[in-house]
Chains A and B, each alone.
Chain A
Amino acid sequence: MALLAELPELVGFFSYSREDDEDSNGKLSALRGAIGSELAQHLGRSKRRDFQLWQDQAAIEAGDDWESEISKAIGQAAFFIPIVTPRAVASRHCKFEFESFLARESELGRDDLIFPILYVPVPALLDEAKWRNDPVLSIVGKRQHFDWRRFRHVAPETTVYGEAIESFCEQIVAKLREPWVSPEERRQLEAEAKKRAEDEERFRQETDARRQAEERVRLRKEAIAKKRAEEEARERQEAETKRRGEEEEQERVRKEALANRHLAPLTAAEERALKPGDSFKEGPDCPEMIVVPAGVS
């Protein structure tokens, strides 16, 4: 976090129509001078060293490539003061400067660094339907602008003029001192946030992957255990079926033998093997006997 007011070199841009300046005997240049001095005092800076309020007549040497110089200056500017007059509104230069600063302001991540001064009445500004359609006027119309019309003919040496300058400059200083995240800082913060989000996402994915792997292991173990249990149950079932089948077969053989035996007294082994319901005869003339189970009556 930084303040625009703490930039090593603070540059503002004063945009106006040169003809307006000439027709007012340099009053606009004087206004720029007064604003520049007032801001330098408020910001504790030196106009010779670390503070500059740019205006093309003052800053551009004759013969320089005008547009590139303007772009370069605006590329360093932290605020922009357009002098709004019918000429300025119509001027290609002013429009270029204005739009260049809009781009610069956007790059700074701000929307409060343009401080229009209404210097000569512009009829279109009174008709919203008209200024809405003009890119420059729409900014002037939407943002708060400082109405200088009643100070236009006031002498710079007067208290009224000085107080008006101070009041205007206080707005600028307040904006320059607002907490501000520089584009580098913002990019860094965004990069950090992005990295953090990526880290978190990666951690989440890794955690998910681990959980899924654990779940897969668990399911596989369960499946193996279930399969084993099923196999064991099947083996038990098969063993039981086999055992029962063998028992049934033994029983069948025993009953058959009992029925077909030579009619003679039971051997000890035959007698021991008897079960309730069995029938036997111990001789051709002997009664048929039934084995009655033990029980309670």
Chain B
Amino acid sequence: MGSPEGQGNADEHPQHEVTIARPFALAKFALTFDEWDACAARGGCRSDVSDNGWGRGRRPAINVTWDDAQAYVKWLSSVTGKPYRLLSEAEHEYAARAGSETKYPWGDDIKLDGQAMANCYGCGSQWDDKQTAPVGSFAANRFGLNDMVGNVSAWTEDCWNNSYKGAPTDGSPWTSDARSSRVVRGGSWIINPDSLRSANRNRASTVDRGSALGFRVARTLTP
């Protein structure tokens, strides 16, 4: 996890090994408006979340704060009786890489064989720098997960730290410092390819919201 010495941004160091000891479940796609709206319809989530006029349905839910995301997983856990949650930063990078050690899940170039692999500012897709793409518009990675980088950035459970010094190595979220900034991961339609790297980190305040920020749910599995 992180970037090798001399590569990536300062906050991606030190590179360190994280062990995900047990399988866990992760949503195949970023949470969609369909899913968000189902929660809103049952009173679990805010019903006034804007889609920027791009349409709802299978487009990823945007304009949601970290607290909105927490409200959703709380609601989902209550209706299913299962431990749904946001994913940790380490889980995000692990799941995005899906075993790869390259810059992007598919290689070191933003495109693969001339094909656009994601939606970002310079990814080569039809949505670049314009709007979100419906989820699943690009090929899944080796774990079967779509859009782990690009389209919308994803909230994670972790608090922001400027480096990995002292970070957990078991895949759990780093929440010891309860400052208001949280880690967001994956990059989005509005951002350049360098910020789509699997190792790239970003942050936002828990009350921030925006047209390029969504989330993806995880679920702990009982052995």
Contact = CB atoms under 8 A, between A and B. Distances in A.
Given A283-B80, A295-B99, A297-B94, 5 more contacts: A266-B82, A271-B222, A282-B80, A285-B34, A290-B28
Interface of B: 1, 17-29, 31-32, 34-35, 38-39, 76, 79-82, 90-91, 93-95, 97, 99, 143-145, 217, 219, 221-223
Contacts of A289: 25-28, 217, 219
A271 B145 CA distance: 19
Contact of A276 (B1, B23, B35, B80): B23
A292 interface: yes
A186 B93 CA distance: 107
12 contacts: A265-B82, A277-B143, A285-B39, A287-B31, A289-B28, A289-B217, A291-B24, A291-B221, A292-B91, A294-B20, A297-B90, A297-B94
A192 B21 CA distance: 92
Name the 5 nearest CB pairs between A and B, nearest first. Answer: A285-B38, A297-B94, A287-B27, A289-B25, A282-B80
B28 A279 contact: yes
B25 A297 contact: no
A283 B221 CA distance: 16
Contacts of B222: 268, 271-272
Interface residues of A, number: 25
- Choose among A292, A295, A296 the residue with the greatest number of B CB atoms under 10 Å from its CB: A292
A292 B143 contact: yes
A265 B222 CA distance: 13
A288 B29 contact: yes
A276 B26 CA distance: 11
B22 A291 contact: no
A261 to B, nearest CB: 14
B221 A274 contact: yes
Contact of A294 (B23, B28, B32, B217): B23
Contacts of B27: 287-290
